[in-house]
Amino acid sequence: FSGKNFSEFKHQLSETLINKILPISKEIKKLLHDQKYLDSVLLDGVEKADKIASKKIKNIKEIVGF
């Protein structure tokens, strides 16, 4: 863009950003409408968090003397 108007750069930049962001936006909208998938992701996260938290709680209880 050397020697060109700033408006040409802005136009090309906005087109490039739209082309990069549009697929991401479409995927987000698709995922938000797939409640079953979202529920499975959340359930998986709960199970992983519970596993980690249970180990930590067990260690804390051993340290405290429960």
Question: C-alpha angle with apex 61: 60 to 63, nearest 5 degrees?
Answer: 65
H or E, element range at 43: helix 35-64
How distant is the alpha carbon of residue 44 from its chain centre?
15
Residues 29-41 pLDDT 10s: 999 999 999 999 9
Residue 4: pLDDT band (50, 70, 90) is confident
Q: 7-18 pLDDT, tens per residue?
A: 999 999 999 999
50: tokens are 């519970």
pTM of the model: 0.54
CB 10 within 8 A of CB 3: no
